[in-house]
Structure 1
Amino acid sequence: PWAVNLIDRDRIIADARAARASGANVVVLSVHWGTEWQTAPDEQQKELAQALTAARSADGLPDIDLVIGTHNHVPQPYEKINGTWVVFGMGDQVASFVPADKLRGNQSSVPRFTFAPAAGHPGRWEVVKAEYLTQYSDMGPPFRVVCASCAASDTSLPAAKRSEYALIDQQVTEAVMSRGAGGQGLEHATR
């Protein structure tokens, strides 16, 4: 039987450790969590992120190397917790919300993390670059998914569209950076 809304911290950690024992150099957790339409992480997200990023192997290395969240429909913050990046929520990557109160559901972020071998820890990798792009499902016509970070400065687009994408880029950036990720090394990519 399927379990609905079941997030079992101990099972997640056990699964991460099993992946590592099976030879995984990098363990990325994609977790379906959070309160729909809420930009700020809820208490469950914050508590779980704290516990998961604190989990360590016998040699003191993280059990989980990156946490990517989904579910809540709107972009949420990125934050480095216990030395591990957490994307609380990307927002919907492809959406078609039309009612005015749901349009922000067409906004999202695209995380981009670069891993490299960890110095001094053979077989382990670590994040050496943390970036994000902003994205928008433009209802058009035609419907298209646009890199707002990229399109905001695209001179081949009409000025009104560039302004629209620049505003979306700003709104998504505010959400992504709202818990201090910029000071933790997160970069806003435009390509």
Structure 2
Amino acid sequence: MSRQPRSTGDVGPAHLPAVPPPGAGHVVAMPARRPRPPLVRPDLLPALNLLSLVALTGLPLGWLWSALAPPVRLRVLADGRLASLPAESYHRFDALALFVLLGLGAGVVTGFAAWSWRSRRGPVVLVAVVLGCLAAAWLANRIGTSFAMSRFPLADTVSAGATLVRPPELTTALALVAQPLGAALSYGMAVAWSGTDDLGRRRG
């Protein structure tokens, strides 16, 4: 018995469409890596210690200012009023400018020193440095004024024509912002220069 030829409509194995392997043509979406939260809690205690240490720098700054700031010499008039001698009134500005320059320099050095603490770089340390410098400036003003008063004590009794020496003093409280401003500027410049997301604290 002869075999009947297959009809043209029959589909053999050679004509079956190729089945794609499992997973072909499908893109598996990987979950996006979440950015690490900022390290705040581990930096709190070291930041508080740094704040206290920076605040103590106001002691030598106050002593140095009292040793360098010039006093103001006054002349006692016949009616008991005090009048500054020629060019002596400029020493008030000299004392103020000296305090600002000392605070600004100390703040810049403090900011760069805090940046060198690589394992604690971040906003918490920056805030601690700024607050510590503000406390140091206030302490330098208080300590410096006390040292200056002991260096140039006022006379108990005065007479007409006598010359008095007034210790240096700050004529405005705005001078206290020089030190924290210098620290913020130096630390901010270091952050901008770093250019990394973690500020390089996890390297090395």
Q: Same fold (TM over 0.5)?
A: no
* Higher fraction of strand: 1
TM-score by length of 2: 0.27
* Higher fraction of helix: 2
Which structure is larger by alpha-carbon Rg, 1 or 2?
Answer: 2
Higher relative contact order (Cα pairs below 8 Å, separated by 6+ residues)? 2
